[in-house]
Structure 1
Amino acid sequence: LERNKTEGQTKTEGQTKTEGQAKTEGQAKTEGQAKTEEQAKTEGQAKTEGQAKTEGQAKTEGQAKTEEQAKTEGQAKTEEQAKTEGQAKTEEQAKTEGHAKTEGHTKTEGQAKTEGHTKTEGQTKTEGQAKTEGYAKTEGQAKKEGQTAVTGLDLFDHQYKLLFKAPIDTVI
Structure 2
Amino acid sequence: MAEWPRIQKFCHQLSAQSSGPAVLDLGDLRVECHVADSDRWAVVLHRLRIDWQVPHTRTPTRQHFYRLVESWCATVDYLTEPLQVVEWEPREWTALVRSARPAEWPDGRLSYYELWWYGLSNPWQVRLERKSAAADEPVQTIGMVWSRDVLARCIMDAHRLWRQLWSTAPAE
- TM-score of the aligned structures, taking structure 1 as reference length: 0.23
Q: Which has the higher strand share?
A: 2
Q: Which has the higher helix share?
A: 1
- TM-score of the aligned structures, taking structure 2 as reference length: 0.23
> Higher relative CO (CA 8 A, sep ≥ 6), structure 1 or 2?
2
For the pair shown, which has the larger CA radius of gyration, 1 or 2? 1
